[in-house]
Amino acid sequence: MNNENTRGKLVAIITGIFSIAIGIIYLGLITILDYRGPMLPPPPEAFGAAAIAFFQSYCLV
């Protein structure tokens, strides 16, 4: 029975370390993405091209 308790504690420690590592990686990724600057909306041409392509494909049917 002592062996099962030791194994359970080991699994809990490994799971905790894995969880903390994921958290640190996530925070690092968010920090890197924030340094890129503010998010800008797409240019108006991006909306016009999609609307024209959709309209043309709809008319062909």
Question: Looking at residue 4, what is its pLDDT?
Answer: 73
The reported pLDDT for the residue numbered 15 is: 98
SS (H, E, C) the chain: CHHHHHHHHHHHHHHHHHHHHHHHHHHHHHHHHHCCCCCCCCCHHHHHHHHHHHHHHHHHC
Q: Higher-confidence residue: 53 or 36?
A: 36
For residue 29 the two structure tokens come to 């990724």
Q: How far is CA 8 from CA 4, 13, 16, in A?
A: 6, 9, 12
Q: Quote the number of domains for the chain.
A: 1
Question: For residue range 3-50, what is the model confidence (pLDDT) as tens digits?
Answer: 778 989 999 999 999 999 999 999 999 999 888 888 888 777 777 655
Residue-number span of the structural domain to which 47 is assigned? 2-60
Task: State the pTM of this model.
Answer: 0.55
